[in-house]
Amino acid sequence: MDTILRTILVAGAEAARRVYSFIRKNKNGGIFRRLERLRKEMMQTSAKATQMLTYEDPFSLADPTWLSTNLGILTCIECSGIHRELGVHYSRMQSLTLDVLGTSELLLAKNIGNAGFNEIMECCLPSEDSVKPNPGSDMTARKDYITAKYIERRYARKKHADTSAKLHSLCEAVKTRDIFGLLQAYADGVDLTEKIPLANGHEPDETALHLAVRSVDRTSLHIVDFLVQNSGNLDKQTGKGSTALHYCCLTDNAECLKLLLRGKASIEIALHFWCYKRASPYLSE
């Protein structure tokens, strides 16, 4: 694994394909085995997956078998179409019954869920004359509500107004592996790709994604996945030129590497000299 991970950033697309193949074949890693076991358990039937992901919205009678993979929530088929219209930068829809979902996508959903998501994103929903649709609402009402909730974040709880406080809360959420703290930062409208105020950073000008990748463990892969799926730029570099993909290479982190490659992180950005020097012994293997 060490050789493959260190080669990818120089060898290009062919190396990326080899990494994908390697990860699929590698059954020995403890994290891989646990996540694969979870994936198989959750995908045995649509009903079991729905139960494990705990759908608690008013559309519970409408066969909620569509998953927004970047937000970790389930919707019914009618609302899934509206989510797709929003664009993948807001919501990425896949079917629990028709699509083959990755372990990380299911893990993110299991750690957020509709109830946890709505506690933040619907905190300021009017209690009287609620605009929230019910199973009998028409498509216009649903679209108006979904647009307000997911694009405008009109009903979200807001904790921080200034940029500095938002970035501090983002940093703390990643450091403490707090997915709902991360969701709160998202609700506050923080730029997930901004450099974070971390005095003891591994390199200057790290982003939340850099921090998440270098501190990830078996309990926090969903933190990395949320950042990968909801960040507009996966290729931000530190003051020394490292991207999050470089961090994966240097720490031999196959799970995070897979997430970044799936998210279309660039493999063309050159390693800075000391990293290239470290990787070069493996390039001829």
Write the pLDDT tens digit of every residue in 36-92: 565 555 555 444 445 545 444 444 445 678 999 999 999 888 899 999 999 999 999
Q: Percentage of residues in the chain with pLDDT exceeding 90?
A: 42
| 8 shares its domain with 117 | no
Q: Which domain holds residue 121?
A: 43-151
Hey, what are 118's tokens?
A: 């709505």
| 217 shares its domain with 252 | yes
Res. 199 pLDDT band, cuts 50 70 90:
low
Mind listing the pLDDT tens digit for each residue in 6-15? 444 444 444 4
End-of-domain residue from the set 129, 151, 173: 151
Hey, what are 125's tokens?
A: 């929903």
| 15 shares its domain with 70 | no
Q: In this structure, are residues 186 and 223 in contact, taking their beta carbons and an 8 Å threshold?
A: no
3-state secondary structure of 95: strand
Hey, what are 195's tokens?
A: 């450099």
Cα–Cα distance for residue pair 240/62, rounded to 1 Å: 51
| 65 shares its domain with 126 | yes
Q: In this structure, are residues 93 and 66 in contact, taking their beta carbons and an 8 Å threshold?
A: yes
Query: What is the pLDDT, as a whole number, of residue 7?
Result: 41
Which residues are CB-neighbours of 138 under 8 A, at least 6 positions away? none
| 95 shares its domain with 197 | no
Lowest-confidence pick of 133-137, 148-152, 165-169: 133-137
Mind listing the pLDDT tens digit for each residue in 205-264? 999 999 999 999 888 899 999 999 999 899 999 988 899 999 988 888 888 888 998 888
Q: Note whether residue 38 is domain-resident.
A: no
Q: Note whether residue 35 is domain-resident.
A: no
Cα–Cα distance for residue pair 255/210, rounded to 1 Å: 14
State yes or no: pLDDT of 2 exceeds 60: no
Average pLDDT of 275-284? 42
| 248 shares its domain with 185 | yes
Hey, what are 167's tokens?
A: 């970035």
| 111 shares its domain with 181 | no
Q: How far is CA 98 from the centre of its chain?
A: 21
Which CATH number goes with the domain that contains 139? 1.10.220.150
| 168 shares its domain with 276 | yes
State yes or no: pLDDT of 95 exceeds 80: yes
| 147 shares its domain with 165 | no
Query: What is the pLDDT, as a whole number, of residue 232?
Result: 87
Query: What is the pLDDT, as a whole number, of residue 275?
Result: 46
| 172 shares its domain with 268 | yes
Mean pLDDT of the chain: 78
| 9 shares its domain with 91 | no
Query: What is the pLDDT, as a whole number, of residue 136?
Result: 85
3-state secondary structure of 239: coil
End-of-domain residue from the set 151, 172, 201: 151
List the one residue out of 110, 35, 98 whose CA is nearest residue 71: 110
Domain count for the chain, please give it.
2
Mind listing the pLDDT tens digit for each residue in 119-130? 999 999 987 767
Query: What is the pLDDT, as a whole number, of residue 56?
Result: 41
List the one residue out of 107, 86, 91 whose CA is nearest residue 35: 107
Res. 151 pLDDT band, cuts 50 70 90:
very high
